[in-house]
Every structure is written in structure tokens, then in C-alpha cells.
């Protein structure tokens, strides 16, 4: 099979992914083999490729927003059958026994494995996944529309929940890439007023099209106090102004897997008044199920930009530069 493989981490400008011919993987007990049709390109892929996340399992096939069809089923699989259209997301395995797994917090499992990080992902023609981590894709979405929902959508949805935002309240979004452009559609469906801070004019324009009531530069103060905010940009310097923009009792959710250093905080100015900073760590399977159900009911319309599999390096380069609106998707 064709696959874009990372042999060593490096700045994405050097095009570190190489096209290889790999054997088609064989599903073991509890797994299914998926013929991939599309795979979304995520900022987490960029962090993996550039070595900003530790202990990358090299050589590696990145990608964790893959959509395709089950073509082979391993032993002891009852949840999925041949011909099913499924999605492969970031979380691919947990121990199932620890205090986190047994209390509905499997995203915090210390033995978790992640697609396109510790195990091969979707920048390829085929991938294997445990059947219990293969998400049925609602028929309302095309393959291309479904791909960004599998991480950008799921993480944005979890971040919305952890921000504590309620229907009708004021929500701030810092950074307006793939995840934020899905989160705003959910928040608007809930009747929230959404305030967006973003550097890129093209991202600001998409936020305007999707119903933001205010759009400003990254460090600008919104005109109203916010009940909750999500920082999608991997920029720690946004945390103090995001806290200052909150109303008393509000929460800033940090949605990235990697972030630059957070500057020192002034307790009275930035934190007092029961303001909360909360990180978002991966997701549970239930987050994925809930997001896909709600996305289909709204329905969400992801904005996507296509790249051939062989141009995965260019897709990552453009993601880093922020030159496109919405989400990049590799077609396979």
C-alpha cells in the first residue's frame, strides 16, 4: 500500500514525510482493517512531525482523522462488519482497568495509545483499528466532511463542554482553524454569542460567515465579558488576556495538545473571581459518539480543502502558515 511515512522528526518546511510502499496491515483479534478514502490533517500531526510531542514511535504513518470502509474483520469482533463506513480518531486504545477507564475518564488513561503517534495512522491506503474505537459515520456526511469531525470536531466539542458554556451565553474562541470552525457551529446552534480572536484575515472572514458577533486580533479585548472561552491556538501568551476577558466564575479551556509557555499571571487581575483554567486532554469514545450525533442533527458543514496523499507535506506546511480556511483533507 502507499503511505506517507515519517522516518525522523523535523521542521515541516523540509518535507520530512516520504512516500513508501508498505505491506497492508493484518487485523489481529478485536481489530478491523479499513481501506482509507480520506484523512484529515490536524495540528497535532504537525506537532508529531516536528517533534514537539515526546516519544514518537518512528518510523510512523501519521494521521488520526481517517474515514474509510471495513474490508477485513479480525477474530472476536461483533461491533463492526465488512462494508461498514467508519472513522478512525486520535484515541485508539486504553487499558480498560485503571481508575480513569472505570470512571468514564478513559482519555486520562496512562496506558492509552494514539493513532498516528504511537501506532500507524491514516496517511495511507489502509489502517487497522480496534473495533470498539471505530466510529460509525452518519450518512448525512460525505467522507470529506466527516474527516475533520474525528478530531477537530471531537476536541472542539469536548472543549465546549469543559469551558462550562451554557446555551445563550457569551463564548470566546482564540484561534480559528479547523476545530474552532466546527465549535462555532455547535455554539451558534446552542444560541451562544461567539467572539473570535484571530490573526489571519481569511480566518476572520470565515468566522464572520459562520456568525461571530465580534472579531478581533489575537490580543484584543472583546467588548463584553465572556462566560467561557476556548484557546485553540498553541500560544501560551493568550492565556492572560483570555482570563481577563472572562466574567467572574468563567472558564478558559486550553484545547491544544501542545502550547508554548504561559506567562506569569497576576492573581488579582487575571485569576481572582473564581476564574478557571482547564486543559483538554484527548477525548473519550463517548465524546466522539455524542459529537457525531449532534453534528448530524444540526447539521454541521465542515469547510475543507483537498490535497492528494502524496502532498501531505504541503498540506502540513500550509496548515502551519494558516493559508487556508477550515480543515485540510488528504484524498487517497
Question: How confident is the model over 137-156, as pLDDT tens digits?
Answer: 999 999 999 999 999 999 99
Map out the domains of the chain as residue ranges. 2-151+283-331, 154-279
Per the CB < 8 A criterion, the answer to whether 150 and 135 are in contact is yes
| Upstream peptide bond of 59 is cis (omega within 30 degrees of 0) | yes
Report the largest interatomic distance among the alpha carbons of the chain, rounded to a whole angstrom: 59
Residue carrying the nine cell digits 467508519: 86
The proportion of the chain whose per-residue pLDDT surpasses 90, expressed as a percent, equals 97
CA–CA gap between residue 296 and residue 282 (Å, rounded): 22
Q: CB count, 10 Å around CB of 218?
A: 16
Q: Which residues pair with 72 in a beta bridge?
A: 33
Report how far Cα 300 is from the mean position of its chain's Cα atoms.
15
Which cell numbers in the block locate residue 41?
490533517
Helices (H), 261-331: 285-297, 312-321
Taking only the tens place, the pLDDT of each residue in 261-312 is 999 999 999 999 999 999 999 999 999 999 999 999 999 999 999 999 999 9
Confidence category of residue 237, pLDDT binned at 50, 70, 90: very high
Across the chain, mean pLDDT equals: 97
Closest residue by Cα to residue 149 from 206, 282, 141, 188:
141
Which cell numbers in the block locate residue 177?
482553524
pLDDT at 330: 98
pLDDT at 47: 96
- Break the chain down into helix, strand, coil percent, rounded to 5: 30, 30, 40
pLDDT at 218: 78
Work out the average pLDDT over 193-198.
97
For the four alpha carbons of 240, 246, 250 and 254, in that order, the dihedral sign comes to negative
User: Three-class SS of residue 156?
Assistant: helix
Per the CB < 8 A criterion, the answer to whether 257 and 90 are in contact is no
CATH of 2-151+283-331, one of 3.40.50.720, 3.90.180.10, 2.40.50.140, 1.20.1440.230: 3.90.180.10
Q: CB count, 10 Å around CB of 241?
A: 20
Work out the average pLDDT over 320-326.
92
CA–CA gap between residue 92 and residue 85 (Å, rounded): 17
Report how far Cα 212 is from the mean position of its chain's Cα atoms.
21
CA–CA gap between residue 68 and residue 127 (Å, rounded): 9
CA–CA gap between residue 250 and residue 162 (Å, rounded): 11
Report which of residues 218 and 32 the model is more confident about: 32
Same fold, 2-151+283-331 and 154-279: no
pLDDT at 219: 84
Taking only the tens place, the pLDDT of each residue in 17-48 is 999 999 999 999 999 999 999 999 999 999 99
User: Three-class SS of residue 13?
Assistant: helix
Confidence category of residue 76, pLDDT binned at 50, 70, 90: very high
What is 154-279's CATH superfamily? NAD(P)-binding Rossmann-like Domain (3.40.50.720)
Amino acid at each position: 500500500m502507499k503511505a506517507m511515512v515519517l522516518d525522523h522528526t523535523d521542521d515541516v518546511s523540509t518535507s520530512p514525510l516520504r512516500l513508501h510502499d508498505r505491506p497492508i496491515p493484518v487485523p489481529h483479534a478485536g481489530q478491523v482493517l479499513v481501506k482509507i478514502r480520506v484523512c484529515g490533517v490536524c495540528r497535532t500531526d504537525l506537532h508529531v512531525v516536528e517533534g514537539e510531542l515526546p516519544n514518537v514511535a518512528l518510523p510512523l504513518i501519521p494521521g488520526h482523522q481517517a474515514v474509510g470502509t471495513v474490508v477485513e474483520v479480525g477474530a472476536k469482533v461483533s461491533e463492526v462488519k465488512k462494508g461498514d463506513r467508519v472513522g478512525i480518531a486520535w484515541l485508539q486504545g486504553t487499558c480498560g482497568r485503571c481508575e480513569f477507564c472505570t470512571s468514564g475518564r478513559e482519555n486520562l488513561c496512562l496506558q492509552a495509545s494514539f493513532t498516528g503517534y504511537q501506532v500507524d495512522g491514516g496517511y495511507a491506503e489502509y489502517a487497522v483499528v480496534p473495533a470498539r474505537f471505530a466510529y460509525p459515520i452518519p450518512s448525512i456526511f460525505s467522507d470529506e466532511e466527516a474527516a475533520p469531525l474525528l478530531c477537530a470536531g471531537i476536541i472542539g466539542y469536548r472543549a465546549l463542554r469543559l469551558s462550562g458554556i451554557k446555551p445563550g451565553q457569551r463564548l470566546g474562541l482564540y484561534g480559528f482553524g479547523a476545530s474552532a470552525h466546527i465549535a462555532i457551529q455547535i455554539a451558534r446552534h446552542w444560541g451562544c454569542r461567539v467572539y473570535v480572536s484571530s490573526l489571519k484575515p481569511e480566518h476572520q472572514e470565515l468566522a464572520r460567515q459562520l456568525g461571530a458577533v465580534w472579531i478581533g486580533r489575537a490580543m484584543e479585548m472583546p467588548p463584553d465579558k465572556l462566560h467561557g472561552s476556548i484557546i485553540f491556538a498553541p500560544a501560551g501568551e493568550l492565556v492572560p488576556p483570555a482570563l481577563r476577558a472572562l466574567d467572574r466564575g468563567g472558564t478558559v479551556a486550553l484545547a491544544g495538545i501542545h502550547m508554548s509557555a504561559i506567562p506569569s499571571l497576576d492573581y488579582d487581575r487575571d485569576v481572582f473571581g473564581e476564574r478557571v483554567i482547564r486543559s483538554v486532554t484527548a477525548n473519550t469514545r463517548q465524546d466522539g459518539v455524542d459529537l457525531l450525533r449532534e453534528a448530524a442533527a444540526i447539521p454541521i458543514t465542515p469547510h475543507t480543502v483537498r490535497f492528494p496523499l502524496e502532498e501531505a507535506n504541503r498540506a502540513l506546511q500550509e496548515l502551519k502558515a494558516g493559508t487556508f480556511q477550515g480543515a485540510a483533507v488528504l484524498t487517497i
